[in-house]
Chain A
Amino acid sequence: METDPLDAQSALDAAEAAERRSAEIATSTPWYAPWYGITCAAVPVAFALIACDQKALTIAVVMVLLASLLTLMTTYQHVTGVWPSVRIAGWFVFIEATVVMVGAAALCYLVASSYGLGWWLAAVAVATAVLMALLSRSYDAAIVRKHGAR
């Protein structure tokens, strides 16, 4: 290695600046988290509908869920031109999201099986949307923290 230390320092600075810029681009969509949260809220609703044997409504909710998710991902990629790496933010974010989604879906299925549909479903859907939006923001925060963006 015959690289001059000053050259090495400027190369390191350039690399860090480029990583920071990537993190800025990847987290530059404030609309992503609420959209994602609302989309995720459809999952526990679908499970409640399954428990109540509402087949047509379940299919409609699942179709809306898939269409929303696909549109969200396409729009994000179209606007930013990038897709952030999962390994940067850490798998813990996805474990937390899985726990929230499985918990909400199981809760909705069990309550709907026993008591049918009701106001509680709206409350669980709103709570799921808020939690998933917050988790999405924490994913962004993890990327920013790691690369010192903003």
Chain B
Amino acid sequence: MTAPAFDEIIHNPVRLRACAMLAVLDFAAFPVLRDELGVSDSVLSKHLATLESAGYVKLDKATSAGRLRTSVALTSAGRKAYAAHVEALRRIVAGEATSSQG
């Protein structure tokens, strides 16, 4: 079982959803993430740079048919941090449920 650990870096709504999408995948193309999250290229780049500097995502850039294609993947540390953050959120929600019953 994953130990809960609230992570301020992941908790940002865009970064949380990006990590959630990537948690199911080995990798996702940059345009898929951008379209699904409903943000611009620059906004997504900024959030991915934050996650990358924390060691949570890895960006692979490759040229195919003359176009630069970027794919994004969660690192092992990113998967652990995301799972721990989700567990922390669950604990917070469960804590509220307990206190509201008492």
A residues neighboring B (CB under 8 Å): 1, 3, 5-6, 8-9, 11-12, 14-19, 21-23, 25-26, 77, 80-86, 88, 143, 147
Chain A at the B interface: mostly helix, strand, loop or mixed?
Answer: helix
Chain B at the A interface: mostly helix, strand, loop or mixed?
Answer: helix
Q: A1-B6, A5-B95, A18-B17 are in contact. Are A11 and B89 (CB under 8 A)?
A: yes
What 12 additional pairs, Cβ within 8 angstroms, besides A11-B13, A12-B89? A3-B11, A5-B92, A14-B20, A18-B18, A21-B21, A22-B20, A22-B25, A26-B24, A84-B24, A84-B26, A88-B24, A143-B24
**Per-residue A-contact encoding for B1-29, CB less than 8 Å = 1, 0 else:** 00000100001010011111111111111
Residues from chain B with Cβ under 8 Å of A14 in the complex: 13, 16-17, 20
Residues from chain B with Cβ under 8 Å of A84 in the complex: 24-26
27 contacts between A and B (CB under 8 A): A1-B6, A1-B92, A5-B96, A8-B89, A8-B92, A11-B11, A11-B89, A12-B90, A12-B93, A15-B17, A15-B89, A16-B20, A17-B17, A18-B18, A18-B20, A18-B21, A19-B21, A19-B23, A19-B24, A21-B21, A21-B36, A22-B20, A22-B22, A25-B32, A25-B36, A26-B24, A82-B28
Contact A82 B27 (CB under 8 A): yes
Q: A9-B93, A12-B90, A21-B36 are in contact. Are A3 and B6 (CB under 8 A)?
A: yes
Residues from chain B with Cβ under 8 Å of A25 in the complex: 32, 36
Residues from chain A with Cβ under 8 Å of B95 in the complex: 5
Residues from chain A with Cβ under 8 Å of B26 in the complex: 83-86
